[in-house]
């Protein structure tokens, strides 16, 4: 892998594993505007700031949220915990926990979470345990077929929390994977089983498999495993992670977690967001469909509030397009970083055009309308964000992208 590709993968890894922002030079802002980032599908609000807090990329659901206004996912009532069993036979001996918890009496500790996980694992040995300060931790599990890293977290959120509804299978145009299922469980609850890779290009890093469970009592349990003894930077130690999808399911749905969940305070319901001022996925797709050049049709559509993506094909190969529509009416330093040097058009819209990468490449037109609505549209010379280029340039030219992003139909909702 080339050094630039490795850097991009390392950055993507960091963004997908944390919720912290990363700054880049202004040139990166202009070239990218927004780009990959964290996967919201992994049950976390992953905030990746590309270039002075320029963009929040939620790659799992395919969303790329622009900062300037907070992302406001739709609220859906929480689901009930599964009653499925399936505890393991125990893990054998365990190494001492590396980090002590600072939790107060009655709070859930990382040590408790790791101990529960150990009791649910099939026969084998655990080592290199590292309890997080709260509610989770990591360990290495060896069933005799190779050492494998595991990470577990447990939380409880209020009814209406977007955490309980955002964690389905990711958009394949953004996150390639081998298999994924996301469905309700008997008695309520939602379970997502994912079989993918630590890096989305599959060229480096371990396989990453995970199970995520959200329940009506607010429980959120996630177990992730790799086929290496570290999630990043370690060679593969086995062909696949140790637990099958069904074993992952059995662990996160086991009643052994009930005692830990009961220690959490009763969560307060989270008020549903007011999405009336935000452009929904279908609304964005409908507007763009009318602005596309003759002969192009949206296919493979996906998205969420404030974001949509689709594929067009002009007969020369598939070309992915994604668009963000967000309220940037408030004063913000990032707004000046991005658009301060852009000359305003007669209607007051400021436009920045850029390109990033080549295989695939991403052509971007970033606009700030006079009323403060930011519309960013990008097109790729491939049918996905991750697969190699299948054509020299996207199906939409920069002028066509600009025409869509600057169309007067885009108005800030009051």
Backbone angles phi, psi at 294, to 5 degrees: -55, 135
Query: For position 204, what pLDDT does the model report?
Result: 63
Query: For position 228, what pLDDT does the model report?
Result: 95
* Higher per-residue confidence, 334 vs 331: 334
SS3 129: strand
Query: For position 133, what pLDDT does the model report?
Result: 67
User: Sheet holding 307-313: strands in order across?
Assistant: 299-304, 307-313, 318-327, 373-380, 362-368, 350-356
pLDDT digits (tens, 9 = 90+) for 174-224: 888 999 999 988 877 899 999 999 887 666 668 999 999 999 889 999 999
CB 383 within 8 A of CB 173: yes
Q: At what angle do helices 398-405 and 281-291 cross, to 10 degrees?
A: 130
Q: For residues 114 and 96, what is the distance between their CA atoms, to the nearest angstrom?
A: 11
pLDDT digits (tens, 9 = 90+) for 229-287: 998 889 999 999 999 999 999 999 999 999 999 999 988 887 765 566 899 999 999 99
Most distant CA atoms of the chain, gap in Å:
72
What DSSP element (H or E) covers 362?
A: strand 362-368
The strand pair at 136-142 and 373-380 is best described as unpaired
CB 67 within 8 A of CB 100: no
CB 13 within 8 A of CB 136: no
Lowest mean pLDDT segment, chosen from 23-27, 171-175, 299-303, 404-408: 23-27
CATH dotted code for 110-263:
3.40.1000
Query: For position 229, what pLDDT does the model report?
Result: 94
pLDDT digits (tens, 9 = 90+) for 98-130: 333 344 445 899 999 999 999 999 999 999 999
Q: For residues 378 and 359, what is the distance between their CA atoms, to the nearest angstrom?
A: 15
pLDDT digits (tens, 9 = 90+) for 360-382: 999 999 999 999 999 999 999 99
Q: For residues 139 and 129, what is the distance between their CA atoms, to the nearest angstrom?
A: 4
Task: Indicate whether 50 pLDDT > 90.
Answer: no
Is the bond preceding residue 276 a cis peptide, omega within 30 degrees? no
DSSP 104: P
Residues in CB range of 24: below 8 A, 6 or more apart: 32, 50, 51, 52
The overall average pLDDT reported for the chain is 77
Which stretches within 33-172 are classed as H helix?
A: 110-120
pLDDT digits (tens, 9 = 90+) for 295-324: 999 999 999 899 999 999 999 999 999 999
Domain positions in the chain:
3-74+274-405, 110-263
Which stretches within 38-140 are classed as H helix?
A: 110-120
Query: For position 106, what pLDDT does the model report?
Result: 57
SS3 252: helix
Structure-token match 């606009």, residue found: 367
Query: For position 138, what pLDDT does the model report?
Result: 96
Confidence of residue 16 (pLDDT cuts 50, 70, 90): very low
Query: For position 259, what pLDDT does the model report?
Result: 94
Mean pLDDT of 47-58: 26
CA-to-CA separations, 57 to 12, 40, 71, 146, 324, in angstroms, rounded:
10, 8, 10, 34, 10
Burial class (CB in 10 A: 0-12, 13-18, 19+), 202: middle
CB 207 within 8 A of CB 232: no
């Amino acid at each position: 892998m080339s050094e630039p590709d490795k850097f991009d993968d390392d950055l993507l890894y960091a963004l997908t594993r944390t919720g912290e922002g990363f700054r880049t030079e202004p040139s990166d802002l202009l070239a990218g505007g927004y780009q990959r980032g964290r996967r919201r599908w992994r049950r976390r609000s992953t905030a990746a700031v590309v270039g002075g807090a320029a963009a929040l990329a939620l790659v799992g659901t395919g969303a790329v949220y622009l900062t300037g206004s907070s992302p406001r996912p739709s609220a859906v009532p929480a689901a009930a915990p599964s009653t499925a069993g399936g505890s393991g036979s125990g893990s054998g001996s365990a190494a001492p926990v590396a980090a002590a918890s600072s939790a107060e009496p009655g709070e859930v500790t990382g040590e408790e979470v790791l101990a529960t996980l150990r009791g649910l694992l099939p026969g084998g040995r655990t080592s290199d345990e590292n309890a997080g300060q709260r509610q989770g931790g990591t360990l290495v599990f060896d069933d005799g077929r190779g050492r494998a890293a595991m990470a577990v977290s447990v939380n409880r959120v209020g009814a209406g929390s977007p955490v309980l509804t955002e964690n389905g299978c990711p958009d394949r145009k953004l996150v390639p994977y081998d298999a994924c299922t996301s469905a309700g469980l008997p008695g309520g609850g939602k379970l997502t089983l994912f079989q993918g890779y630590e890096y989305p290009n599959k060229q480096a890093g371990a396989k990453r498999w995970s199970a995520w469970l959200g329940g009506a009592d607010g429980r959120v349990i996630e177990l992730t495993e790799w086929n290496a003894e570290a999630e990043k930077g370690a060679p593969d130690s086995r062909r696949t992670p140790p637990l099958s999808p069904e074993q992952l399911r059995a662990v996160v749905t086991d009643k052994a977690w009930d005692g830990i969940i009961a220690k959490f305070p009763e969560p307060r319901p989270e008020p549903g967001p007011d999405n009336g001022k935000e452009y929904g996925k279908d609304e964005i797709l409908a507007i763009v469909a009318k602005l596309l050049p003759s002969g192009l049709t949206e296919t493979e559509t996906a998205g969420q509030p404030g974001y949509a993506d689709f594929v067009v094909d002009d007969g020369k190969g598939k070309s992915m397009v994604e668009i963000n529509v967000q309220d940037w009416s408030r004063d913000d330093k990032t707004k000046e970083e991005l658009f301060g040097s852009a000359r305003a058009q007669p209607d007051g819209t400021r436009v920045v055009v850029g390109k990033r990468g080549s295989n695939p490449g991403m052509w971007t037109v970033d606009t700030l309308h006079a009323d403060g609505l930011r519309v960013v549209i990008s097109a790729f010379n491939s049918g996905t964000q991750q697969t190699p280029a299948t054509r020299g340039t996207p199906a939409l030219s920069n002028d066509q992208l600009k025409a869509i992003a600057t169309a007067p139909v885009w108005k800030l909702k009051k």
